[in-house]
Structure 1
Amino acid sequence: MEPQRRPGGRSARVREAVLDATAAELAEHGYPGLTVEAVAQRAGVHKTTVYRRWRGPEGLVADALDRASEQSWPIPDTGSLRGDLRALTELLRTGFTDPESGSVATAFVAAGMQHPDAAAALRAFYAARHREAAVLVERAVARGELAPVPDPVEIIRFALAPVFHRLFVTHEPVTAADARRAADAAVTVATAARD
């Protein structure tokens, strides 16, 4: 579902209140427990307002992801591709394991697995994050650390994929060492492209 245009004034305040309430409900109850009624009550608006604009939980999640994508990722700059990718995989790991934000991030992924509108929003969110992080690879090429690569985003995906796999496929704990190994494997792949 495409969120409606973002007007200013009262509508903007209602949107912020509803999306803040959505995040709070996701943190407490996860996606399966997300209801329009609970979000409306927490936001202090009538449920018909939420239904009219967002239609249901999947619309709330899609718009919450859209809002989250407006905030930049803190892109590391350690001076080396290895250091940058290690910092990036650690950022992802801690984002999902953080006691406060982790449950919301996990709920976004769960929603994307259950509803096509949420899945489309999740894809757009991570596509934007990956494009943003591609600068790590581009800087490594500019420093002469890497030969040019056809698609810098693929190196980012390669670094992050093992973390996602452990979190959402095998449901294993992800340690800082696991995150470092994922980054190091991506560096190996990236540097092999030079040969």
Structure 2
Amino acid sequence: MEGKDERERVRRPGGRGARVGAAVHQAVTDLISERGYGKFSVGDVAERAGVADSSIYRRWGSMEALLADVALTYLNERSPMPDTGSLAGDLRTYAAAVAREITGPDGLALLRLAVALSNSGPQGVQAGDELLAERSRQLQSMLDRARERGEPAPDAFGVLDHVLAPMYVRVLFGMGPLTPEYVDGLVDRLLRLRLAGPDAV
């Protein structure tokens, strides 16, 4: 039999749980921006978000799982998978959205977080792998739609290697702005490679 709290969550989707989640996510993002990865604790996050430590452990289980959730949620909310009706349109729309977000006020912090997870011990590596796997799955769904329309398409790692990775590197190392021309050029190069055959990407 479901308890009162569960019934409340069903009746009030979003409710307090969503507010707590948003507060914790924002606290993590702010702390990464201010202090850098690995320089704050669950207690610091809880204090900043105005919640109990136990609430964070109960919901996320570990700092690494929380950090991966923050990164994935940010990506999903700020740069969701588009569906424009063509692969070229989808890729250009998606790449432009990613470029806007990773150059935004929280973008660099979240990029550094994603990189740092892979160097933070077994739990961090697992969380980073899960983050990459989920993002790859989402990208693959967009590419599968293109194939269903009869368009040749690369796999998800082709998009990661030829479109996302160059943008991430530019932002992480301060190598210049992500202009619309630069971002469209990355997509155009991937599309040319796609036309060259499946072994090219």
Same fold (TM over 0.5): yes
CA RMSD of aligned residues (A): 3.6
Task: Indicate the residue corresponding to 2:194 in structure 1.
Answer: 190
Task: Indicate the residue corresponding to 2:151 in structure 1.
Answer: 145
Instruction: Return the letter of the residue paired with 2:81.
Output: I
The normalised TM-score by structure 2 is 0.68
Note if contact 1:36-1:51 (Cα within 8 Å) is conserved in structure 2: yes
Larger relative contact order (CA 8 Å, sep ≥ 6): 1
> Which of 123, 127, 134 lines up with 2:140 in the alignment?
134
> Is 1:24 aligned to residue 30 of structure 2?
yes
Runs of 4+, deviation exceeding 6 Å:
none
Task: Indicate the residue corresponding to 1:41 in structure 2.
Answer: 47
Note if contact 1:31-1:107 (Cα within 8 Å) is conserved in structure 2: yes
Give, in whole Å, the separation in 1 of the partners of 2:165 and 2:156.
12
SS at match of 2:82: coil
Task: Indicate the residue corresponding to 1:167 in structure 2.
Answer: 171
Instruction: Return the letter of the residue paired with 2:128.
Output: L
Give, in whole Å, the separation in 2 of the partners of 1:13 and 1:143.
37
The normalised TM-score by structure 1 is 0.70
Task: Indicate the residue corresponding to 1:108 in structure 2.
Answer: 113
May I ask how many residue pairs the two structures share in their alignment? 183
Task: Indicate the residue corresponding to 2:100 in structure 1.
Answer: 94
% of aligned pairs identical? Answer: 28
Give, in whole Å, the separation in 2 of the partners of 1:77 and 1:63.
24
5+ unaligned residues in a row in structure 2: which ranges?
10-15
Note if contact 2:31-2:40 (Cα within 8 Å) is conserved in structure 1: yes
> Is 1:64 aligned to residue 70 of structure 2?
yes
Q: Deviations over 1:141-185 (max 9, x none)?
A: 333332xx6x622332233222223233x4312322221111111
SS at match of 2:93: helix
Give, in whole Å, the separation in 2 of the partners of 1:172 and 1:118.
27
5+ unaligned residues in a row in structure 1: which ranges?
1-6
Give, in whole Å, the separation in 2 of the partners of 1:143 and 1:179.
25
Give, in whole Å, the separation in 2 of the partners of 1:134 and 1:64.
21
Note if contact 2:79-2:94 (Cα within 8 Å) is conserved in structure 1: no
Of 73-82 and 57-66, more deviation after overlay is shown by 57-66
CA 190–35 in structure 1, closer or farther in 2 if over 3 Å, else same: same
